[in-house]
């Protein structure tokens, strides 16, 4: 199933055509609508096994990621140990 990721800038939907978005990893992509980049995360809920998608205009803070809740059941989503950032982000 391909994901539609809604751009936080212009709200248009971006589909991952390759279905390669990693779960539990923060990554970024260019919006096909406004060409700006945004950060996103796909996390699987351990309670209901639904996958929720989150998107930010800028790199999310660790505190923001800890506060994420499943879109389906509302329970906190369980991230992989420490959320990892894509190497492409070049942290710092
Ligand atoms: Zn956009
Ligand atoms: Zn859930």
pLDDT digits (tens, 9 = 90+) for 12-51: 888 765 566 677 888 888 899 999 999 988 888 889 999 8
In angstroms, the Cα distances linking 4 to 17, 23, 27, 29, 81 are 9, 14, 15, 12, 25
Give the ligand with the smallest distance to the CA of 68. Answer: 2
Q: Compute the distance from residue 40 Cα to the ligand 1 centre, in Å.
A: 13
- Model pTM? 0.76
Beta-carbon-side half-sphere exposure of residue 15 (alpha carbons within 13 Å): 4
Give the ligand with the smallest distance to the CA of 37. Answer: 1
Burial of 4 from C-beta contacts in 10 A (0-12 / 13-18 / 19+): exposed
Neighbours of ion ligand 1 (CB under 5 A): 7, 9-10, 31, 33-34
Name the DSSP letter for residue 73. T
């Amino acid at each position: 199933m391909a994901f539609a990721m809604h751009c936080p800038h212009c709200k248009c939907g971006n589909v991952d055509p390759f279905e390669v978005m990693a779960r539990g990893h923060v990554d970024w992509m260019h919006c096909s609508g406004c060409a700006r980049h945004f950060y996103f995360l796909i996390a699987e809920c351990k309670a209901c096994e639904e996958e929720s998608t989150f998107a930010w205009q800028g790199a999310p803070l660790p505190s923001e990621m800890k506060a994420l809740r499943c879109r389906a059941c509302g329970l906190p989503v369980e991230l992989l140990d420490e959320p990892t950032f894509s190497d492409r982000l070049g942290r710092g």
